Amino acid sequence: MRPQKITISEVGPRDGLQIERRLLPAEQKIALIDRLSATGLTRIEVSAFVHPKVVPQMADAEAVFAGIMRRPGVRYAGLVMNARGAERAVAASVDDIKTGIAVSDSFNELNVRMTTEQGMRALGEIAAVAKGTRSRIVGGIATAFGCPYEGPVPIEQVHRLFAQLAGFGAPVIYLADTTGMANPASITRTIESLRARWPNQPIGLHLHNTRGLGLANALAGLELGVVDFESSIGGLGGCPFAPRAVGNICTEDFVHMAHEMGIGTGVDLDALLRVAAFTQEAVGRPLPGMVMKAGKANERHDKAAPRMKVD
């Protein structure tokens, strides 16, 4: 079932930067996105069309979309939470309108000030705005593997949201492990449950590495033939509950894992590692990406070079 090729959607410029302390100017975001698209990545989440007072980091969404180079074959996405956001996204000619909803009321209310029911109505309004435009809807289900307030989530609730997103003809629906609560067993269980009912709906994984399980969870997905994954350059971003914890899985570490396993990504890993270094410089803090610290597994070391003892 392990796929031969996967598609990685880079979410660092949105999901990552949204939680970084340092606000980057639009020009620097544009430079980052253009460098990312030059590595062979074909899906990039550029920004979010949300209220600038609520998420000031994304207030320049239009400017960033206007400034980036639109590389052929690359789909540029914007996150949208309501009809107003969808109008802005369509006006900015985004390729993919990323939208979704959290499984739990508690999370939704704190995150977007809507209950899950209100969020589902908002999804309908977003889909109506997008209809007939060049922008397509790509779905996401947040806290799909657990809610930090409510704990385990009922699988029936995941099914309900999935049904609605599938109804919009979403080319892929990402299950998001928003705060890093998934484990390989719950990844397998959830995907198998959804596939039993929607055998033809592509399912993607949006994973966080909050408790070190990110790449193990990705492996569980790969073993089930999942080919769509979201990740963040350098492991940009963080965890809203724990200042020292990390956020999304790291794009270059995941590409490195895939290539080591013989799974193609279409991405130039060396170029990606240079973008990770650029990103680290831009945000001004050490990022959690590990391959940029240790080097690739296929790099040879010089026997004459200094080293420490090891057994």
Footprint (CB under 8 A) of a copy of itself, residues 86-115:
106, 110-111
**Under rule CB under 8 A, residue 215 binds a copy of itself:** yes
**For a copy of itself, the closer CB: 117 or 260:** 260
# residues near a copy of itself by CB under 8 A: 72
**Under rule CB under 8 A, residue 296 binds a copy of itself:** yes
**Under rule CB under 8 A, residue 42 binds a copy of itself:** no
**Under rule CB under 8 A, residue 158 binds a copy of itself:** no
Stretch 11-30 residues interacting with a copy of itself (CB under 8 A): 15, 18-19
Query: How many whole angstroms separate alpha carbon 204 and alpha carbon 187?
Result: 11
Taken in order 97, 71, 62, 110, the sign of the CA dihedral is: positive
**DSSP line for 86-126:** HHHHHHTT-SEEEEEEESSHHHHHHHHS--HHHHHHHHHHH
Query: How many whole angstroms separate alpha carbon 292 and alpha carbon 286?
Result: 11
**Under rule CB under 8 A, residue 277 binds a copy of itself:** no
**Under rule CB under 8 A, residue 283 binds a copy of itself:** no
> From the candidates 129, 170, 239, 272, which is the catalytic residue?
239
Stretch 62-91 residues interacting with a copy of itself (CB under 8 A): 79, 81
**Under rule CB under 8 A, residue 155 binds a copy of itself:** no
Residue 247 CB, shortest distance to a copy of itself, in Å, is 8
> Tokens representing 134?
């060049």
**For a copy of itself, the closer CB: 68 or 206:** 206
Among 95, 96, 230, 253, binds a copy of itself (CB under 8 A): 253
Count Cα neighbours of 251 within 13 Å in the Cβ-side half-sphere. 39
**Under rule CB under 8 A, residue 262 binds a copy of itself:** yes
- Would residue 250 show up in a list of annotated catalytic residues for this protein? no
**Under rule CB under 8 A, residue 181 binds a copy of itself:** yes
Contact indicator for 133, 100 with CB cutoff of 8 Å: no
Question: How far lies 247's CA from each of 121, 178, 189, in Å?
Answer: 29, 9, 23
Contact indicator for 56, 65 with CB cutoff of 8 Å: no
Cα-trace Rg, the chain: 19
**For a copy of itself, the closer CB: 196 or 305:** 305
**For a copy of itself, the closer CB: 204 or 238:** 238
Among 146, 204, 221, 234, binds a copy of itself (CB under 8 A): 146
Question: How far lies 205's CA from each of 106, 109, 283, 297, in Å?
Answer: 22, 23, 26, 25
Catalytic residue annotation: 239
